[in-house]
Amino acid sequence: MEFNEFYFCSLWTEHFRIRNCADILLNEKLTKDYFFNRLTNITCSDTHSAIEEGVRISLKKGIDCYVYVPDDNRKLEDILLGKGFTLVDSMSVLKCTTNSIEYDNNNSIDITKIDIDSIPIWVDVFCHAFDIQNWKNEVQRIIKLHFKELTLLVSYLNNKSNIPVGCTALFDRCSLIGLYCLGTVSDFRGQGIATKMVKVALEGAQRRGLDFIFLQAFANEGIIGFYNKLGFQTIYKKKVYAFLREE
């Protein structure tokens, strides 16, 4: 799951290798984001120097430096706190088995796998769902570049207007499917749109003979309970620390 997550984030960012013992993923056009932008995979014997170099590279790019820390790595937490990092969030990694699917009979919502010509529709829904319209050009560039590596789904209300209202991206890597970018346009939330997209993703994984799909959820978003109701269980957690630039 960690490798799948890392490779997905690398599609959206520029990858720098630090001292051959740490990775940093950065995209200065994805402002204030700490899912894609991150210093990770730190295995250096000199952790202090690796973190300092990560901070230097991030700040040079005009980005806050974010580090993910496994719950049981108190040593790394202490080092980060000593260097002026602050805890900004925590992220749970959850999975749901494909043999626990309850099929969705909500016929008011249609889920469509988009083709390359429909990328602008997916990008528009994604940017509205997450209120990141200023990312639009960059997201479109990224999705066009990596379209063949992704399965992009858009949900529509099955009515006369046929409005696109939700999106998600499925990423198949390391014999695992990760569910990313699940969002619903704010005016249409609470109608079962995200629920149906998750169930469609589970059905697709089951048809491929996979045992589960997984996803990530931030504590600050307050949506872990939603995923629990759909059958997802937390496998592990990571804390998110940030070294924030001076404004």
Please count the structural domains in the chain: 2
> Please, is 208 exposed, middle or buried when counting C-beta atoms within 10 Å of its C-beta (0-12, 13-18, 19+)?
exposed
pLDDT score recorded for residue 212 = 94
Residue 151 — pLDDT band, cuts 50, 70, 90? very high
Are both 49 and 114 inside the same structural domain? Answer: no
> What's the rounded Cα separation, in Å, for the pair 224 and 94?
9
> What's the rounded Cα separation, in Å, for the pair 89 and 105?
35
Query: What residue numbers bound the domain in which 157 lies?
Result: 96-236
Backbone angles phi, psi at 137, to 5 degrees: -65, -40
pTM of the model: 0.94
Give tens-digit pLDDT for 100-139.
767 666 678 899 999 999 999 999 999 999 999 999 999 9
pLDDT score recorded for residue 247 = 64
Are both 67 and 112 inside the same structural domain? Answer: no
CATH code, domain with 159: 3.40.630.30
pLDDT score recorded for residue 160 = 56
Are both 23 and 105 inside the same structural domain? Answer: no
Are both 87 and 120 inside the same structural domain? Answer: no
Are both 86 and 104 inside the same structural domain? Answer: no
Are both 77 and 109 inside the same structural domain? Answer: no
